[in-house]
Amino acid sequence: MAKIKIGKIEILRAVTVLLVVIFFLAAPFFGFAYGTNCALTFGSFVLISPLELLLMVLGTQTALMSWLIPSILVILIIVLFGRFFCGWVCPVGMLLEYSHAFTETKKMKGIGSLHSNWDRYALILAILLASLLFNFAAPYLFSPPGAVYRATLYFMLRGLIGVDLAVIAFFFVMDVLAIHYGRTWCSTICPLGTVISSLSIINLVSPKVDKKACVDFDFNCLNCERLCPMHVPILRANRWAMTECNKCLKCWEGCPVKAIKIRAFG
Amino acid sequence: MSKVPISRRKFIKILGGLAVAAGVSGVLYEQFRPKDYPAKQVKPDAYTQDGKSLVSIIKGNSDADIDAMVRAAVSAIGGIGKLVSSGKTVVVKPAVLTSDPNCAPDPKVVAAVIKLARDAGGRVIVAETSGGGNTEYCLSQVGITSASQAAGAEVKPLTRDEEIPMEVPKGTSLRRVRTYKTIYGADVIISVPRLKRHGNTAVTISLKNMMGVIPQAEMGRFHNTSLSQCIADLNTVLKPDLTVVDATYAMAGAGPTGGTMVRMDTVMASGDAVAIDRVGAQRLQEIEQQRGIPSFKVADVTHISAAATLGVGTNDLSKISIIERTLE
Amino acid sequence: MRVTRREFLRLLAEGAVALGFLRISSLVPSGSLTEVVRPPGSVEEEFFNTLCVRCGVCVEVCPTNAIVFADYMDGVEAANTPKINPIIGPCEFYRGRCDTEMKCGKFCPTGALQLISKNGVKMGTALLNQGICLAYLGKECVVCDELCPVPDAITLDEQKRPHFHSDNCVGCGICVHYCPAQPKALTLSSTGARRVRWPR
């Protein structure tokens, strides 16, 4: 059986995701917090996901302070720290990554893609149009982490399995595909991911290659790009490509000459 | 597909083996299947005199004297010592249908009964299944949870207890009933209802209060068969050893919810649930007639006469001895 | 792989738009034949399915477990929105279970569920099936009348049979929950439900 290499940061990430999941599932029983990643309420204090905010604003053609204020904190964190949610919080993404780990023993075939991913913007546009014109907000039904949390909580509280079962079956299929294709959903389709990367303007924590220390200018190494689960072309990247980075730090860990520095950590 | 040849001998062996297996599993099943518990033993009425059932009716001031009224009511018929001694498990069963305090007995009456039983050395559990709400919520909303715990009793909503099926050998409509382990294992059961009217059974006093020691699904079953007869059948196996009726304020005109509260300043006690129901019904009817509230006929109360027929107690006034006192 | 992804994405995008068009052309049912019974304080259905982000907070906080998620039979747009299932639990807000502020409306993060007073509660109405009702079959049962929190929603006739007055009924579902008939003689319908106008 092939060995699976798991770095220290990966373990830290897995533990963090697990703690977040436990928090979401345990908090209602202690009356501390209720909700899923779509919207979370602590009683007087509320957090709303930016994708849900966008859909509500478009669907009702209004913008209420009672929605904007809970979203601002979330948006601020995303502006500063980018797609860290995808790497350190989303349980679905973590599951896809671990499924992919089975094929990661050989060097990954693919490297980062310079091709801009306009397709997912087409998708998000279609979703936003559907919400604006037809009051039909598809992500409410298909948001991956939302469906997983909701289905788990529903089963724990009522012993019932709702329509999310169909969604979860869909993600199971996606997971089987992830064995070969990794986090393709995350980097190419996920509407929540699209919104988050569009907001990662400042993106404090992102890897930068020290060109002097890097041994590869002839495309002989490219370990960083091979390891990146989001298919980010780290070596050749510009600012916009780096908005995809989910801060998993695999490139940083896996560079044989430690040529990668994390911007914001000096 | 080719046929597998099998010899006659082998075939018979296989059949024999199957038969033995069936027999063994049948025997094992009979041994280990959950059987109905035998009917709980009911004790004869501890509070009789000259062959008559004693019923005490104590009047006092409901604002001040409740504890004294309860103690006087029980001592008038012979005292708690006839039932409770050191180490006995005593279940105090208040009638808590909903979270409305008017429907339930006054928490001070319940607390007085608890203290009485504890003074005699009993270990008191306040047990109930609310038929019209979440039991824990209802018990706490009517004030019984805090009052009982302050008086030193353990409060046990029966919905959390283990259900057991039990035989009802003398029942006509009810041949078996599901009840709870706490009730089955109790040494003494004290029923503490409020004197109230009822839409179907005309009155709900001690006999009907015993519907609160069975699961909600069983309560529904009673309505599906014959409510009054099932109440009578139930009391042949789950009979209160002592009843203390809270008639400080009674519910008249309609019930068990939505009636008119009338102040009667009375507490009643008896060891005979049928007798106290009969006497209580009569008092309730009298006060309704006094106040011009639409009333009922005591003779029409089916569950009381059905229970008397089954030998649960007596509803014959000539065999009931009423002790009436007013506290100074 | 790039080509496959692109095609797949295009398909999804077209699907989302197509679903929207299908919805307005009524080929895909956007709602069930009758509206779902929603918790008290729900905004009008037109806005409800947009305001509700399916966070599940109301399902988590309801003290009687009355709120469940709607399924596809209630319409694709309403899937996973909250509805009252009185058989699992009645809504006891009118009866006083949630004190003055209903938990669902209090915790809803987006305003799909608003805080309203008890007087404004009208989630629907209870409907009686006289063919199954025990009282109409000659048995002794008036549990619905015993437990109804509204003074004149249920009255009894001389034969102790219940009569329902939907004008007074608040649609809480307590009678449905406790009806001992098998199958239940009562259902909760959304007929007559009052919703909150939005925006406030």
B52-102 pLDDT tens trace? 999 999 999 999 999 999 999 999 999 999 999 999 999 999 999 999 999
Touching partners of B (3+ C-beta pairs < 8 Å)? C
Please check the confidence at residue A12 and state whether its pLDDT lies above 70: yes
Q: Distance between CA atoms of A225 and A235, rounded to whole angstroms?
A: 7
Report the complex ipTM: 0.87
pLDDT for position B63: 92
Q: How many CA atoms lie within 13 A of A85 on its CB side?
A: 26
CATH code, domain carrying B95: 3.40.50.11440
C134/chain B closest Cα distance in angstroms: 7
Do the domain assignments include residue A219?
no
Q: Binning pLDDT at 50, 70 and 90, where does residue B24 land?
A: very high
Report the candidate in A95, A107, A112 with the shortest Cα–Cα distance to residue A176. A95
B256 contact C CB<8A:
yes
Co-location of B199 and B215 in the same domain: yes
C131 contact B CB<8A:
no
Quickly tell me which residue has 């035989």 as its tokens.
B167
Q: Binning pLDDT at 50, 70 and 90, where does residue A140 land?
A: confident
Q: Distance between CA atoms of A22 and B306, rounded to whole angstroms?
A: 57
Q: List CB contacts of A77: < 8 A, sequence separation 6 or more.
A: none
If one counts the domains in chain B, the total is 2
- Chain C hits for B258, CB-CB cut-off 8 Å, are 151
Percent of chain A predicted with pLDDT > 70? 89
Q: How far is CA C162 from the centre of its chain?
A: 23
For range A2-9, the mean pLDDT = 66
End-to-end CA distance of chain B: 99
A191-211 residue pLDDT tens? 899 999 999 888 888 888 888
pLDDT for position A216: 64
CB contact under 8 A, C160 and B199: yes
B5-21 residue pLDDT tens? 788 889 999 999 999 99
- Chain C hits for A186, CB-CB cut-off 8 Å, are none
CB contact under 8 A, A60 and C47: yes
- Residue pair B282/B295 in contact by the 8 Å Cβ criterion: no
A33 contact C CB<8A:
no
Please check the confidence at residue C4 and state whether its pLDDT lies above 70: no
- Residue pair A232/A225 in contact by the 8 Å Cβ criterion: yes
> What's the count of helices (H) and strands (E) in chain C, helices before strands?
6, 6
CB-based touch A/B (3+ pairs, under 8 A): no
pLDDT for position C174: 97
Q: Residue window 201-260, chain A: list those with CB within 8 Å of chain C.
A: none
For range C131-151, the mean pLDDT = 96
Burial of C55 (0-12, 13-18, 19+ CB in 10 A): buried
Q: Residue window 33-92, chain B: list those with CB within 8 Å of chain C.
A: none
Q: Binning pLDDT at 50, 70 and 90, where does residue B39 land?
A: very high
What's the mean pLDDT when you consider all of chain A? 84
- Torsion B71-B76-B77-B79 (CA) sign: positive
Identify the closest residue of chain B to C91 by CA–CA distance.
B133
B96/chain C closest Cα distance in angstroms: 13
Q: Binning pLDDT at 50, 70 and 90, where does residue A65 land?
A: confident
The domain of A52 spans: 8-107+116-205
- Domains defined along chain C, listed by start: 31-189 (3.30.70.20)
CB contact under 8 A, A135 and C46: yes
CB contact under 8 A, C13 and A126: yes
If one counts the domains in chain A, the total is 1
Co-location of B111 and B177 in the same domain: yes
Do the domain assignments include residue A218?
no
Cα B178 to Cα A12, B250, B302, C112: the distances in Å are 53, 30, 23, 44
C55, C65, C88 member nearest A35 (Cβ): C55
Co-location of B107 and B221 in the same domain: yes
Quickly tell me which residue has 């249908």 as its tokens.
B97
For range B196-221, the mean pLDDT = 96
pLDDT for position A1: 43
Quickly tell me which residue has 């309730």 as its tokens.
B284
CB contact under 8 A, A163 and C20: no
Please check the confidence at residue C14 and state whether its pLDDT lies above 80: no
> Whole-prediction pTM value?
0.88
Please check the confidence at residue B175 and state whether its pLDDT lies above 80: yes
Q: Binning pLDDT at 50, 70 and 90, where does residue A219 land?
A: low
B211 contact C CB<8A:
no
Q: How many CA atoms lie within 13 A of C173 on its CB side?
A: 27
- Chain A hits for C89, CB-CB cut-off 8 Å, are none
pLDDT for position B306: 97
A39, A64, A158 member nearest C53 (Cβ): A39
- Chain B hits for C63, CB-CB cut-off 8 Å, are 137
- Chain C hits for B256, CB-CB cut-off 8 Å, are 146
Based on its alpha-carbon atoms, the radius of gyration of chain B, rounded to whole angstroms, reads 24
Do the domain assignments include residue A261?
no
A61 contact C CB<8A:
no
CB contact under 8 A, C139 and B132: no
- Chain B hits for C92, CB-CB cut-off 8 Å, are 133
Co-location of B122 and B46 in the same domain: yes
Please check the confidence at residue B150 and state whether its pLDDT lies above 80: yes
Q: Distance between CA atoms of B54 and A40, rounded to whole angstroms?
A: 63
Quickly tell me which residue has 């068009």 as its tokens.
C21
Q: Distance between CA atoms of A189 and A166, rounded to whole angstroms?
A: 19
- Residue pair B259/B197 in contact by the 8 Å Cβ criterion: yes
Touching partners of A (3+ C-beta pairs < 8 Å)? C
Co-location of B27 and B54 in the same domain: no
Report the candidate in A251, A233, A254 with the shortest Cα–Cα distance to residue A242. A233
pLDDT for position A43: 86
CB contact under 8 A, C96 and B99: yes
Neighbours of C181 (CB within 10 A): 21
Co-location of B10 and B114 in the same domain: no
Highest mean pLDDT: which of A218-227, B28-37, B73-82? B73-82
For range C89-103, the mean pLDDT = 94
CB contact under 8 A, C5 and A119: yes
B259 contact C CB<8A:
no
B98, B220, B226 member nearest C140 (Cβ): B226
For range C168-190, the mean pLDDT = 96
For range B174-188, the mean pLDDT = 96
C143 contact B CB<8A:
yes
Percent of chain B predicted with pLDDT > 90? 93
The domain of B106 spans: 38-326
Co-location of B46 and B101 in the same domain: yes
- Chain C hits for B99, CB-CB cut-off 8 Å, are 95-97
Return the minimum-mean-pLDDT range out of A61-70, A146-155, B178-187, B258-267: A61-70
Q: Binning pLDDT at 50, 70 and 90, where does residue B129 land?
A: very high
C96 contact B CB<8A:
yes
- Torsion A72-A146-C14-C9 (CA) sign: positive
B162/chain C closest Cα distance in angstroms: 21
C159 contact B CB<8A:
no
Q: List CB contacts of C107: < 8 A, sequence separation 6 or more.
A: A34, A41, A43, C57, C58, C61
C187 contact B CB<8A:
no
Report the candidate in B31, B108, B10 with the shortest Cα–Cα distance to residue B66. B108
A59, A150, A163 member nearest C56 (Cβ): A150
Report the candidate in C77, C82, C83 with the shortest Cα–Cα distance to residue C46. C77
CB contact under 8 A, C80 and A150: yes
- Chain B hits for C182, CB-CB cut-off 8 Å, are 220, 224
Highest mean pLDDT: which of A105-109, A235-239, C8-12? A235-239
Bridge partners of residue A39, in order along the sequence:
A48
What's the mean pLDDT when you consider all of chain B? 95
Q: Binning pLDDT at 50, 70 and 90, where does residue A266 land?
A: very low
b/e map B13-45, b = 16+ CB within 10 Å: eeeeeeeeeeeeeeeeeeeeeeeebebbebeeb
Percent of chain A predicted with pLDDT > 90? 27
Please check the confidence at residue B288 and state whether its pLDDT lies above 70: yes
Please check the confidence at residue A154 and state whether its pLDDT lies above 70: yes
Please check the confidence at residue A230 and state whether its pLDDT lies above 80: yes
Q: List CB contacts of A70: < 8 A, sequence separation 6 or more.
A: A39, A45, A46, A47, A48, C109
> What's the count of helices (H) and strands (E) in chain B, helices before strands?
11, 13
C182 contact B CB<8A:
yes
pLDDT for position C13: 66
